[in-house]
Amino acid sequence: MTPTPEMIEAAAIAMANFDASLVGVPTLQSVTDFRFDKDRGEYTRRAESALKSAFGAMWRPIRDAPKTGTRILVWCGDFYSVAWWDSAHETDDGRRGIWTDGGVASWGYEEIREIHLVCFAHLTGFDGSTAGERLQCPATTSP
């Protein structure tokens, strides 16, 4: 995953505001609030680097994926999906359990498809179960 310009801007503002809180100066609302271009550039470079590192660290080897039915973000080599381990499914060759995203294998064939994962990322940081707070779309948060 690549950080978007909006993610980089939000991270740069958060980093600058953290520093501002340590010395008691006013906080920023946007990157245009930086007093000097060099400060904006430095915080933006640091934020992008930190986000790239974080995105790289979130991907885990598939051998570590939970086989509990928990939804996870997966990379399948040419597409992303949200998938889970379906332990009740039995394959034609007698294997029990498959990774699936609930998609149908083909039209008119009502059996869920098996997908082959390359790596995965936990979704717990998005649903609040380990993040300590539930993340919400800013447009839906109340004042």
- Model pLDDT, residue 104: 72
- Model pLDDT, residue 133: 43
Of residues 6 and 94, the one with the higher pLDDT is 6
Distances (CA, A) of 88 to 40, 73, 96, 106, 129: 53, 21, 7, 20, 25
Q: What CA–CA distance (Å, rounded) separates 16 from 135?
A: 22
- Model pLDDT, residue 11: 93
- Is the confidence at residue 112, as pLDDT, over 80? no
- Structure confidence by residue, pLDDT tens digits, 90-106: 777 888 888 888 887 66
